Chain A
């Protein structure tokens, strides 16, 4: 799908980051991200790969779509389930 999902970087080890997606922690590959990533940064995740480091000024705007989507949507909502699938698609993080 086209929709990447934003998450907060908790830790970085080599080319793998542990990223928090609304309380769900997953490992995300940093192999193709456009800029260096550090803990505290937000990244856009697509099928287990960070495709962009989200600039600080854009974090709030980026998160709002997803928060509305996940809060308001029922279990069978296509957009929300794609987002949940995207989060599920990344490997379980350490801690």
Chain B
């Protein structure tokens, strides 16, 4: 770190003490390779300082990245001027209330709804699938699209797979749709596509995001090339990063360098998993089953091309086209009172952090969540509730 020492003695003392603090933090955080962690954290601090603005905000869009950042306390190693925020990276959270309503309505109409566990707890306009189940509707938890198909094979009843998740998970839904599922199986797709929402969030004036960290395993399927047009159009750098603490630090170090140098390009820092083209076979499956359409993401905005819906040739497997969905009967209820204070939308847009929410950790906790961000293991609020989001340096 000698190269970072300025000439003025006052500054030298300052940097030396920051360096000591960083060393202490790195020791406490128990990195697998503390020396590399210290170097990367030093690079992030030095480059952020060279940018000369505060704050410098960069965004990631992945619940697993936030889990790793919070779990390993990485924010304690970042300089104060660097703001690493989570954007709309939780698929459960961004599923819009009317989409949950469709699942709830179908369940109340007597169909068997299968979905991922967290989806049962997320409230629509008036009810969650759990609420519907408590009133007698049949709802089953599955871990995968294949299990939903198995469930359909084991019964004569109509089974609707309420399919949520980003493109990585939509690929699995596409694969079961293409492998001749039984006639009593259909899909209610709430799948979402990440690249279009990055454009929306990048343009929010409150955010001033200067770069994106893209999720490694999602890019395994899409390839990193998919971000090139985005980087060019919005003049923002994108770095693909893995999930080890050191992968994330290395990704952030490269990202702040690109911000400093004004280089809006895509850099792949996870080559052991991600290629430029991605998994072509998976992409072919995905786009042969789904087409992108515009739609709302909960709390964020209407996202052009952000929702994945079944193509016409799969209409016979599309629950929306196979069954009349009676939403009107649901909307006789009054909406829950607390939800008005919930700032999940601002949190998912990266405008606010959970600590700015007056419900966080009080009325809204994992056992009795008010907002969707406290429901899922990938939701910012649940992650911060478990690990803390921004560790206080004094306590480390």
Q: Interface on A for B, CB 8 Å cutoff?
A: 1-4, 29, 31-34, 44, 46-49, 51-52, 54-55, 58, 61-62, 64-65, 68, 76-79, 81-82, 85, 88-91
Which chain A residues lie closer than 8 Å to B150 at the CB level?
91
B71–A31 CB distance below 8 A? no
Q: Chain A: interface secondary structure?
A: mixed
B144-176 interface (Cβ within 8 A of A)? 144-147, 150, 166, 168-169, 171-172, 175
Asked if A32 meets B279 with Cβ closer than 8 Å, knowing A52-B220, A78-B67, the reply is: yes
Bound: A54/B271 CA distance, A: 11
Cross-chain contact of A88 among B32, B143, B218 (Cβ < 8 A): B143
What are 19 A-to-B residue pairs whose CB atoms are below 8 Å? A2-B64, A2-B89, A2-B168, A3-B217, A3-B243, A31-B179, A32-B285, A33-B281, A34-B280, A46-B172, A49-B171, A51-B168, A64-B32, A64-B244, A65-B244, A78-B383, A78-B386, A78-B387, A82-B64
Within 8 A of A (CB), among B360-396: 377-378, 382-383, 386-387
B62 on the interface (CB 8 Å rule)? Answer: yes
CA distance A90 to B71 in the complex (A): 26
Q: In the bound complex, do residue A78 and residue B382 qualify as a contact, i.e. CB atoms below 8 Å apart?
A: yes
Chain B residues with Cβ below 8 Å from A34 are 279-282
Q: Which residues of B contact A89 (CB under 8 A)?
A: 143-144, 147
In contact, B145 and A1 (Cβ under 8 angstroms):
no
Q: Is B266 among interface residues, defined by CB-CB distance under 8 A?
A: no
Complex CA distance for A33 and B171, rounded to whole angstroms: 11
Known: A46-B168, A48-B172. A32 touches B217 (CB 8 A): no
Total A-B residue pairs with C-beta atoms closer than 8 Å? 116
B215 CB contact (under 8 Å) in A2, A85, A90: A2
Contact B377 A52 (CB under 8 A): no
Number of interface residues of B (CB under 8 A): 46
| Whole-angstrom distance between the Cβ of B194 and the nearest chain A Cβ | 10
Residue of B nearest to A78 (CB): B377
Flag B55-80 by CB within 8 Å of A: 1 or 0 each. 00000001111011001000000000
Q: In the complex, what residue of chain B is closest to A79 when comparing beta carbons?
A: B67
Most buried by B among A44, A55, A64, A65: A65
A2 touches B386 (CB 8 A): no
A52/B273 in contact, CB under 8 A:
yes
A51 touches B145 (CB 8 A): no
- Name the distance in Å between A69's Cβ and chain B's nearest Cβ: 9
Q: How far apart are B66's CB and chain A's nearest CB, in angstroms?
A: 9
